[in-house]
Structure 1
């Protein structure tokens, strides 16, 4: 196994990455929710972690990783900047939907000031979406979509503690009725506005997309025209995976390996964002050309 290739930025060997991560067999209950695999490599060590999404979302997993690596480095999972976790499910309540209030929020939200610049996530999501559309050869008349998960911890009332260990996310969907709108000079701007609109809809009614109807809606989408952006530039992946040997050469979410997926985490160096892209090999060169110019 080529360690330098695993830690590099070019095309990854998906099968090699998958071999470094243990499987979770959830076919029989009770089922495991976490599994760890350490693989000795020539000139290095790979630590693979599998966590079932039923018990924790991305933010909770990386917080768990920070606590675990802190225990390895410093002897304690609790530090000045990392408080003790909790697993209480009482902090999240799902109230009966108040349709009137929800519709009012949807009406008011689009009229709120939008002067602040786009976030790093929105910018990278828009860039990847337009590159996906171009590399796939989509054009006039093709509808296209971008899906992502939003962290609800700071958006619920009352707010959910940063130390909450579990799932507290909601699916969001940005849509474009005509892919041609993403191909012109203003394509990235159009894509960014669509992503921002999806975020605004979520912030107006954080729990409105949490019923079973959302999954049915998702399954009806044309997956060949769907882009999925996972994780967040705010996830301190390399700091969380420092077990006392320094930051690892590479951190990857190897389960995100389907066509049209991009994973964003904080990069190895301060201020960096690592973007890992999974595409059909037939379209990868075109995708890279769209991103790199």
Structure 2
């Protein structure tokens, strides 16, 4: 196919469609559950996986691309609904995914002239530079709404970027991670070493394991329709603005340990790494943004519900199975000297309520509780360290960097495990340039204070 110019610095080498390999046991029709309905109107989740791969374009096209396509077809055999389409309806029980062996996933191969090492760094970069590396999810038609699009972009003699765009209404982070790991493993191991091209346990499509006696699906849809008219939603959308940059704050295992020591010293309790790191970032952002005059601020995050249901769902369950948690704190307190401790304590308290009340306790209020208009500022988190996305290895080694592009549309932070440091975390943000400058300065200052106080106490 003749190369065409798509974006500045991006040259499209090939556009094709990959179909699932024959022999799928996935159902032709898969209804949505109330867990899926939570994300029915959400923007697709977009991630970029950067890999070091110093090879010329010709070598990649001849030796790597065929394996990528074949292994993708085999992975789609088990995850065939991702190649299908979503068919919405006015009634929650009628929302369904339809798929067949004839469905296909759009797959784009491109070449970039950008600086691979700079664009995949942790420092502040213009968000618009990364947008050409993720494919769009085409608008729905009479045949339904597409669910998945993929793009591989070559940076000659330096690396490759894999962009994935996936509908959140049909797959949470666990399902997306299971699909990517299956695809990568099949590509890495080679078909001769993988019986039938299958790697790991196949997805579970049993929808009977999720019951809805409270009609949560109907409640969520009604609340979501009201939320669409909330003007606060548009304020959170930073996508496409020329002044927005993204950067990644790296918090080491040792720094999290120090945060835990400070927390225990002031509260006489312990706190999870997740709450410590998120609380630290939440407080730093409050300091950088300015005091909100005593108004309540919120931090929203999701929790994995598969193991919290009765009976628990298998880890291979296909779809969404996430609950919503909300932590609240006074904005003035967050911006104060003990802001990180207060923020972490608020997140810890929200998790404790979840552990004591059960996975679905207060679920009827999940959607309305996170409406942006209810708080002076609302921060949310996307992703989780438990997903293990740095294990997605196509034979090129672990990703050099992973970016969650879709956080720009919700002003969320992205959370992932740290590649080089077990127990450490990477937290990505997209912010207006001036606010990002203040935020990174606050983070650096607070980490320096943490290190100084720990050294002066003799490391105890």
Given the two structures, how large is their TM-score scaled by the length of structure 1?
0.85
**Is 2:172 the counterpart of 1:57?**
yes
Alignment correspondent of 1:194: 346
Matches of 1:208 and 1:151, distance apart in 2? 14
Q: CA deviation at 1:16?
A: 2.1
Structure-to-structure mapping, 1:102-251, within 5 angstroms: 117-176=270-329, 178-203=330-355, 204-211=357-364, 213-221=365-373, 225-240=377-392, 242-251=393-402
Q: Deviations over 1:90-141 (max 9, x none)?
A: 22223449xxxxxxxxxxxxxxxx9873222111110111011111102432
Matches of 1:36 and 1:78, distance apart in 2? 20
Structure whose CA Rg is larger: 2
Matched pairs, number:
272
Q: CA deviation at 1:30?
A: 1.1
Q: CA deviation at 1:35?
A: 1.0
Q: Is the 8 A contact 2:284 2:340 kept in 1?
A: no
Q: CA deviation at 1:73?
A: 0.9
Report the aligned-residue RMSD: 2.3
Say which SS state the counterpart of residue 251 (structure 1) adopts.
strand
Q: Is the 8 A contact 1:36 1:49 kept in 2?
A: yes
Matches of 1:115 and 1:25, distance apart in 2? 52
Residue ranges of structure 1 left out of the alignment (5+ in a row): 98-113
Greater share of residues in helix:
2
Alignment correspondent of 2:419: 268
Residue ranges of structure 2 left out of the alignment (5+ in a row): 1-113, 216-266, 446-460
Q: Deviations over 1:127-160 (max 9, x none)?
A: 1110111111024322211111111011111011
Relative to 1, partners in 2 of residues 1:69 and 1:269: Cα closer, same or farther, differing over 3 Å? same
Q: Deviations over 1:178-222 (max 9, x none)?
A: 2122233322121111111222223313224544x5333323535
Given the two structures, how large is their TM-score scaled by the length of structure 2?
0.55
The match for 1:32 among 146, 167, 171 is 146
Alignment correspondent of 2:127: 14
Matches of 1:94 and 1:267, distance apart in 2? 37
Greater share of residues in strand:
2
Q: Deviations over 1:41-98 (max 9, x none)?
A: 232211111110011111221121111111111134755xx4322222122223449x
Alignment correspondent of 1:255: 406
Alignment correspondent of 2:218: none
Say which SS state the counterpart of residue 234 (structure 1) adopts.
helix
